[in-house]
Amino acid sequence: MQAERPRVLLLMTPTTYRATDFLGAGAAAGVAIVVGTNRAQTLAGLAPDHNLTLPFDDPAAAASLARDYARRCPVRAVVGVDDEAVLPAARLAAALGVPHNTVAAVAATRNKILMRECLAAAGLAGPPFLAAATMPDSGRVRDEIGFPCVLKPASLSGSRGVMRVDDGRDLAAAWRRVTGIVEAARAEERQGLEEDRLLLERFMPGAEVALEALLQNGKLRPLALFDKPDPLDGPAFAETIFVTPSRHPRQVQNAVLDATTAAARALGLHDGPVHAEFRVHGGTVHLLEVAARTIGGLCSRALRFAAGMSLEEMVLRQACRLDLPVLARENRASGVFMLPVPGPGILQAVHGLDEARRVEGIEDVVLTMPLGDAMLPLPEESRALGFLFARGTSPAGVEASLRSARECLEIDVQASTP
């Protein structure tokens, strides 16, 4: 008799970009996927009984529904796909008695204020910061943090609501704007927005890098270190190009790994994917944040591992305690260009797609925002217009391919009526 495939409860929001990639990874890994979302929906290719509606904002009710399902169909693991799903995933894993990071550890990664406080309590270096529910006096900000600084909501992701504040004269306007963004997110019924405080921390200059890794019983297994060659200096922080392998010196790369290991230990993370972001300045690395998930959007498509395995398949295999091959990325350089929203308005057309696809090194061009959609740029919203993917013999060549492909695109936006 053929053994039953291990079953994973995959939690995601209906707006995630990642459903298709995780479902494909489940098929490749021989894992049965049941999808849990916080709003009723049926994903193509899944039987109706493999789609669960779970109220992420009501942990007790979600746990009861998950237990009812697990009694009929045993669940081996619970995996959260995106930021709004990782904390519900930790809660449901605890309710079902399957291995996972603790709820407290994941909660600390979902709240930038708790994360900063936890890392500071562990004695780990980080930028000076303060948290407040009402706008602090600019003199206090100058004395305790210093200008320029960065104002952040505690729990929004994708740089939404993140703004640089250059001096005391900018503080009031930035505070009003970010508070409005948080209230708009609450009206969208986004999860994890119970925190009323905003975070202010000193702006750290330098280039950014992003680490993808797996934690296995507390041991950090690095998968890829991305450089972000475009400057991220504000006033908003729209990420664009990610290229791997990193071109930073080996000592900088080792410092990133050491800092991520120390931060994971301080937060209490011991298992599963980790996405960590840093600034590198003068050879010193400064931790920006750690998330208990993989890289967002469709950026993981830039990564391939042994035997062509995807990042999503590796996450599912580890969650189910299945065999993992050597965690080696392919030998070629690779990268992705996240196309930011150029301005407010209605997306009318994107011209030059065929030309972009013909650029040497470009493997795919994917638009994720439908024509006719109303859109806002960062910091108000964090959606990406689309993604360009490239591979090549060197990081510099991949970066050049991505820039050339972007130059082929003309984005037609009809300005919104005031």
pLDDT in tens, 87-137: 999 999 999 999 999 999 999 999 999 999 999 999 998 899 999 999 999
**Sheet of 198-202, strands arranged across:** 129-132, 198-202, 149-153, 163-165
DSSP class of 271: S
**408 Cβ contact partners less than 8 Å away, ≥ 6 residues apart:** 352, 355, 356, 359
Distance of CA 49 to the CA centre of its chain: 29
pLDDT in tens, 197-251: 999 999 999 999 999 999 999 999 999 999 999 999 999 999 999 999 999 999 9
**What's the confidence (pLDDT) of residue 2?**
47
Q: Domain spans of the chain?
A: 7-107, 128-202, 207-414
In 98-189 the beta strands, taken as DSSP E runs, fall at: 129-132, 149-153, 163-165
**What's the confidence (pLDDT) of residue 137?**
96
**What's the confidence (pLDDT) of residue 283?**
87
Instruction: Give 160-164 contacts, CB < 8 A, sequence gap 24+.
Output: 160/185, 160/378, 160/379, 160/380, 160/381, 160/382, 161/185, 161/379, 162/236, 162/237, 162/378, 162/379, 163/234, 163/235, 163/236, 163/379, 164/203, 164/233, 164/234, 164/235, 164/236, 164/237
**What's the confidence (pLDDT) of residue 125?**
83
- Give 207-414's CATH code, choosing from 3.30.470.20, 3.30.450.20, 3.90.950.10, 3.40.50.2300: 3.30.470.20
**373 Cβ contact partners less than 8 Å away, ≥ 6 residues apart:** 346, 347
On whether the CB atoms of residues 160 and 382 are closer than 8 A, the answer is: yes
| Amino acid type, 34 | V
**What's the confidence (pLDDT) of residue 378?**
96
- Give 128-202's CATH code, choosing from 3.40.720.10, 3.30.1380.10, 2.60.260.20, 3.30.1490.20: 3.30.1490.20
**Class of the domain covering 7-107:** alpha beta
> How far is CA 222 from each of CA 215, 274, 380, rounded to the nearest angstrom?
9, 9, 33
**What's the confidence (pLDDT) of residue 77?**
97
| Whether residue 245 has a cis bond before it, omega within 30° of 0 | yes
Q: How many CB atoms lie within 10 A of CB 379?
A: 26
What pairs with residue 11 in β-bridges?
36, 80
Average pLDDT, the chain: 93
Residues in the chain, pLDDT under 50: 1-2, 418
Q: pTM for the complete prediction?
A: 0.94
**What's the confidence (pLDDT) of residue 38?**
86
